[in-house]
Chain A
Amino acid sequence: MCADPSTLEGLNWWLCYLTTVKHMNLYTSVFTVLLLLAIVTPCILALGFGGAVAKRSALMPVRWVGMGYTSMVRGVPDIVFFMFVPIALDQVFEMIRHKVLCSDVTDPIWQGNDFVVCDIAKLPLNAAPQWQHDAYGFILAVIAFAIVFGAFAANVIDGALKAVPKGQLEAGEAVGMTKRQIFTRIHAPQMWRYALPGLSNLWMILLKATPLLFLLGIEDVVYWARELGGAKTSRFAYPHTDWRLGYFLALLVFYLFLTWISEKVFDRLKLRFGAGVAI
């Protein structure tokens, strides 16, 4: 049916138009967003938990790391980190590989306005297939997201750890538990209930940060919306005027839908975690 688009009209035109290869790319890029969320969420929780625990450590250097990590997102815009972390990591990785793999090259790496590493130190290698370049970019983006939102989560979990009633911990001491036991059996399990409102907030923020993938050069929903929405002349199979407004409207609705679903899920969770607790 879609072989000759110029003969199509009405509903058929739309059906064919919305199932072109490029539109399929748009739909799969929705899965890129969901994939990012799936990979990055456990990392965020782990980093957040680690950061919050480090902040309470008895060792001073560890405590400083934790405090630095939790406070870094307070004063500096998260977007700055999103721009900085991937490119900085890329350079650090390449520099390390350069030092290891090309130890015979003595030229400085930063030469004036250039960053020069030997060819075999490049990440990924110049000859690598395109999917490796894409995957590398995506991994760097995941790390950037994990670091930034891990810092936010560390703030939330730190607050939740402080919110657990003192009496609970004292009761643990009274029955002769060690510090470690108190933490793993009383403090950490009870903390989640206090952390839930903050974490649900964080989830919403994370959802709304996913279009920033576009800034990291990943072909995400924003990229395809711009690409597909731009005016197409009659040289194209499906000519249309500038429809970017429509595409962005669709994205807006998509994100509102995600937010709405999440709100419902978190309302449920709140009931569950709050069960058996006096308000």
Chain B
Amino acid sequence: MSCAEAFSNYAFRSLGYGERILPKADITLCEQIALIGSGMIWNVYFTVLALIAGFSFATLIALGKASSNPLASIPAKTFIFVFRGSPLFIQFFLFYEAFVLIPKVAGDIDLGFVQLTVETRWFTRAWLGALIVMFLNTSAYSAEIFYGALRNVPKGDLEAADAIGMNASQKFRRVTWPTMLRLAWPSYTNEAIFMGHATTLVFLSGFPAWRQAGDALYYAQYLAEKTFNPFVAYPIVAAFFIVFTLIIIGGFGAMNKRLNRHMAPEARGKLKLSLNVIR
């Protein structure tokens, strides 16, 4: 099989397109690269969607934890403790078992212009179920980061905002929130990186890979098992993830620059890997 053929057969295998049967014998390097690359689609999917959804929720939780009202701070603290204090791996199992217990019903949602059929069975599928777990998990970790940043917003900035007569919402939108984001950004970048790495757990935990459509590590494991040679498949996943990590660092680095554009160069927060946030 030529290399082009391998790619046309397997480059979108993880989404269910292309060859239905995974390669079994005489597996070529191209097939391995194509298959593992197609698995990366899921890793990117989980990372990007969970991060986007988790961002606003994390801000909310962080504000809750910083709040002086116990009705807001206690649930926020509990949420953060539970999701940061327990292994993501166990969370996947737990939520999967919980989702399985949801009675199987299908319902229609009328969006006005289109009818959507929604099934509760989707919760047991990785694309929704695992995404929810990742969303909750990353929200907790990000919330802790945002909370730390929130407490470090300089007092003087807030007083200045009061002095020129900003109201509470103006103060939050124009002073507190941007400063919090700027302070939190280096750690948040780490969170994004390790969250991306943690997506490899999805198909190793409870969530079944439906029709053998899994993520990069799922395919790597399959290939290593089939070829009895771990020295090809795993380095390929590693290479894909290094590229993925570099892209995240690039994107977040650009954002970091933008958030710090008004700061003197020596006062800018640097992006640096620290280990505050991995699971």
Identify the A interface with B (CB < 8 A): 74-80, 83-84, 87-88, 91, 110, 112-115, 152, 155-156, 159, 198, 201-202, 205, 207-212, 214-215, 222, 225-226, 229, 242, 244-245, 248-249, 251-252, 255-256, 259-260
**Given contacts A87-B224, A112-B25, A248-B93, A75 and B82 within 8 Å (CB-CB):** no
Report if B201 contacts A (CB, 8 A): yes
Known interface pairs A76-B238, A205-B275; A255-B86 also in contact (CB < 8 Å): yes
Q: Mark B203-222, 1 if CB is under 8 A from A, else 0.
A: 01000000000000100110
The reply to whether B279 and A259 form a contact with Cβ atoms under 8 Å apart is: no
Count how many chain B residues have C-beta atoms less than 8 Å from C-beta atoms of the other chain: 49
Known contacts A80-B217, A205-B279: A88-B231 contact under CB 8 Å: yes
Shortest Cβ gap from B224 to chain A (Å): 7
**With an 8 A cutoff between CB atoms, is B50 at the interface?**
no
A245 with B101: in contact, given A77-B241, A80-B200, A201-B275 (CB under 8 Å)? yes
Across the interface, which residues of A come within 8 angstroms of B106, CB to CB?
A: none
Q: Which of B144-165 contact A (CB under 8 A)?
A: none
Q: How far is the CA of A91 from the CA of B232 in the complex (A)?
A: 13
Q: List 19 A-B contacts (CB under 8 A).
A: A75-B241, A77-B197, A77-B200, A79-B197, A79-B204, A80-B200, A80-B220, A80-B238, A112-B26, A113-B227, A156-B275, A205-B279, A208-B86, A211-B87, A242-B101, A244-B93, A252-B86, A255-B90, A260-B85
Query: Which 10 residue pairs of A and B lie closest in terms of their CB atoms, listed nearest first?
Result: A77-B197, A75-B242, A259-B85, A115-B228, A208-B87, A84-B234, A248-B94, A245-B97, A76-B238, A75-B245
Query: What 1/0 mask marks residues of chain B from 9 to 27 whose CB sits below 8 Å from any chain A CB?
Result: 0000000000000000111
In the docked arrangement, what's the CA distance between A74 and B242, Å?
Answer: 8
Q: Which residues of B contact A78 (CB under 8 A)?
A: 197, 278
A208 touches B25 (CB 8 A): no
How close is B103's CB to chain A, nearest CB, in angstroms? 14
Residue B104 is within 8 A (CB to CB) of chain A in the complex: no
Nearest-CB residue, chain A, relative to B101 = A245
Q: Which of chain B's residues have a CB closer than 8 A to the CB of A198?
A: 274-275
Taking a contact as CB atoms under 8 Å apart, the answer to whether A80 and B201 are in contact is no
Which residue of chain A has its CB nearest to the CB of B226? Answer: A113
CB closest chain-A residue, reference B245 = A75
User: What is the chain B residue whose CB lies nearest that of A110?
Assistant: B229
The answer to whether A256 touches B238 (Cβ under 8 A) is no
Q: Do the beta carbons of B245 and A74 come within 8 Å of each other? A: yes
Q: Which of B53-101 contact A (CB under 8 A)?
A: 81-82, 84-91, 93-94, 97-98, 100-101
Query: Judging by beta carbons under 8 Å apart, are A76 and B27 in contact?
Result: no
In this complex, the member of A91, A214, A244, A260 whose beta carbon has the largest number of chain B beta carbons within 10 angstroms is A244
B91 to A: closest C-beta gap in Å: 7
Number of A-B residue pairs at CB separation under 8 A: 130
Given A110-B229, A113-B228, A211-B89, CB of A77 within 8 Å of CB of B217: yes
- Alpha-carbon distance between A118 and B25 when the two chains are bound, in angstroms: 23
A63→B245 CA distance, assembly (Å):
24
B238 contacts which chain A residues (CB < 8 A)? 75-76, 80
Q: Which of B221-275 contact A (CB under 8 A)?
A: 221, 224, 226-231, 234, 237-238, 241-242, 245-246, 273-275
Q: Mark B179-213, 1 if CB is under 8 A from A, else 0.
A: 00000000000000100111011001000000000
**CB closest residue in chain B, given A247:** B97
Q: Are A76 and B241 in contact (CB under 8 A)?
A: yes
CA distance A259 to B245 in the complex (A): 28
Query: Is the pair B26, A245 in contact by a Cβ cutoff of 8 Å?
Result: no
B228 touching A110, Cβ below 8 Å: yes
Check if B230 sits within 8 Å of A244, measured CB to CB: no
Q: Is B28 an interface residue (CB 8 A)?
A: no
Counting CB contacts under 8 A, is B276 at the interface? yes
Q: In whole angstroms, what is the CA distance A91 to B231 when docked?
A: 10
B81 and A256 contact, CB distance less than 8 A:
yes
Query: In the bound complex, do residue A252 and residue B94 qualify as a contact, i.e. CB atoms below 8 Å apart?
Result: yes
From residue B141, how far is it (CB to closest CB) to chain A in Å? 12
Q: Which residue of B lies closest to A251 (CB)?
A: B90
Q: Hey, which chain A residues are within 8 Å of B237, CB to CB?
A: 76, 80
